[in-house]
Structure 1
Amino acid sequence: MTSSPAPVTLATEQARIRLHELTVIDVRTPAEYASGHLPGALNIPLDHVRHALPEIRHASDRGDILVVCASGARSENACKLLAEQGVPTATLSGGTGAWAAEGHDLHTPAACDTRAGWSMERQVRFTAGTVVLLGLLLGLLVHPALLLISAGIAGGLVFSALTNTCGMAAVLGKLPYNRPRAADLDAVLAALRSR
Structure 2
Amino acid sequence: MSQPLLPDVRRPANGGPKAAARNRAALIAAAREIYAAQGLDAPLSAIARRAGVGQGVLYRHFPDRDAVATAVLEENVRQIEQAAGAEDMLFADVLGVLTWHLTESAAFLGLLHVRASVARSGALAHALTLSDRVERALRERLPEGHRLSEQNDLMLAVAMVSGAAGGPTREVRERRAAAAWGLLGVEVGPVRPFEV
Larger radius of gyration: 2
Q: Which has the higher helix share?
A: 2
TM-score by length of 2: 0.26
Greater strand share, structure number:
1
TM-score, scaled to structure 1: 0.27
